[in-house]
Amino acid sequence: MIETAHVGTAGPACTIEGGCVANGFERRSESITYTYPEAHSLRTSRPFMNYPPEFRRPSLARVAHHEAAHVILLRWIGLDSPKATATATSGLAYMPSLPDVPEQHPDPTGEVAACAAAIFHAGAMGELLHEGIEWTGPLFYPEQVDYQMANRMLMAGFGNHASSGHAWAQRVALHVLQSRWDEVQGIARVLIERGEWTAGFHRT
Ranges under pLDDT 70 in the chain: 1-31, 98-104, 201-204
Query: How far apart, in whole angstroms, are the C-alpha atoms of residue 192 and residue 10?
Result: 25
* Contacting residues for 178 by C-beta, under 8 A, at least 6 apart: 30, 33, 34, 129
Rg (CA), the chain: 16
pLDDT digits (tens, 9 = 90+) for 59-77: 999 999 999 999 999 999 9
Q: Write down the pLDDT at residue 107.
A: 87
Give yes or no for a contact between 147 and 169, defined as CB atoms under 8 angstroms apart. Answer: no
Q: What's the first-to-final CA gap in the chain, in angstroms?
A: 28
Q: Write down the pLDDT at residue 103.
A: 59
Torsion 48-52-53-56 (CA) sign? negative
Q: Write down the pLDDT at residue 102.
A: 57
pTM of the predicted structure, to 2 decimals:
0.83
Q: Find, among 97, 134, 138, the residue nearest to 117 by Cα.
A: 138
Q: Write down the pLDDT at residue 104.
A: 63
Q: Write down the pLDDT at residue 201.
A: 67
Q: Find, among 160, 169, 70, the residue nearest to 114 by Cα.
A: 169
Q: How far is CA 1 from CA 67, 85, 124, 136, 140, in A?
A: 10, 11, 15, 28, 20
Report how far Cα 114 is from the mean position of its chain's Cα atoms: 13
